[in-house]
Amino acid sequence: MLWPSPCYGWYTAEVVYRRGPWRGREDLGFATLEWVDWFTHRRLLGAIGSLPPAEYEARGYTPLTPAAAGTP
C-alpha cells in the first residue's frame, strides 16, 4: 500500500514512535490496524463538517429522495 506523505508522517509520529518500542511485527501490525480504524472511522475532520471520513462518505452515497433532488 502506498501512503500519501502527510498520512505516513502522522502514522509514524503517532504509532511507530509514540507507542513503541515493539516486541515484534505482530504488535506493530495490530497497532497499525487500530490506527487505520481510528483514522477512517472516528477521527473528526473539520473540512467536512467535523464528521469522520467514513460517515461523510456514507452520506454521499445515500439516495436522494425526490423532494431533496428538487423534483415534484
Q: Is residue 28 within 8 Å of 16, Cβ to Cβ?
A: yes
Q: What is the pTM of this model?
A: 0.63
Q: Is residue 34 within 8 Å of 18, Cβ to Cβ?
A: no
Q: Is residue 22 within 8 Å of 28, Cβ to Cβ?
A: yes
Residues in the chain: 72
In tens, the pLDDT along 8-57 reads 788 888 888 888 888 999 998 999 899 889 888 888 888 888 888 888 88
Please state, in angstroms and rounded to a whole number, the distance separating the CA atoms of residues 29 and 25.
6
Per-residue pLDDT at 4 exceeds 90: no
